[in-house]
Amino acid sequence: MSPALSLAGLATLLALAVVSDLRSRRIPNELVLTGLLLALGQHAAMLLAGQAPLAGAHAWSPLAGALAGGAALLPLYLLRASGAGDVKLMATVGAFVGAAAALTAALYTLLAGGVLALLWMVGHAVATRTLDKLRWRVTGWLLRLQGVPVPLALHDGARGLPYAVAIAAGTVAALLWPLRP
């Protein structure tokens, strides 16, 4: 077992989470649990083989990483700025990389999330305005043809930001550019 295999497992987990989040705005519990078990299994196998796991040389390093990663995004969840799946995904990232790298990944994730949110707002606002105008013109035209008064626009609930994208970007950034004290 090598650190490269751990990185491959982490990369696969993040890729699957991003695809799921982009498609359905949710990260399945099964995916997060599988990732967590994979992180723990890889950590144990590397310790038994006498190799240095990504999360650190201590048996409790994945647990500390999971707690640090989850705790870092928990305030966003409590403020309803992210979903529970995002918190669980960040905790799983922490189990792979350990507490220090999880906190670094969380910092980079928050930065990536801010950039993503700005891009999302700009793109979503332009697309929403254009589609809303088109939808209400067609709807108004169809209703007027039937002699029905045209109602005021009703707003659909906005779909949330796919934060797994920011978590993946933040994790990659943390692995490429770790912060050192």
List, for residues 78-121, the tens digit of each pLDDT value: 988 889 999 999 999 999 999 999 999 999 999 999 999 888 87
CA-based torsion, 94, 95, 101, 103: positive or negative: positive
Tell me how far apart the alpha carbons of residues 172 and 181 are, in angstroms, rounded to a whole number.
19
* 140 within some domain: no
Q: Which residue has the tokens 């995004």?
A: 73
Residue 30 resides in a domain: yes
Query: Is 76 within a domain?
Result: yes
Six token digits for residue 124: 């979503």
Alpha-carbon gap, residue 106 to 181, rounded angstroms: 16
Q: How many domains does the chain have?
A: 1
Note the pTM of the prediction, 2 decimals: 0.80
Its domain, for residue 49, covers 3-115+163-176
Task: Say which DSSP state 177 is in.
Answer: S
- Is 97 within the bounds of a domain? yes
CB 125, CB 92: distance < 8 Å = no
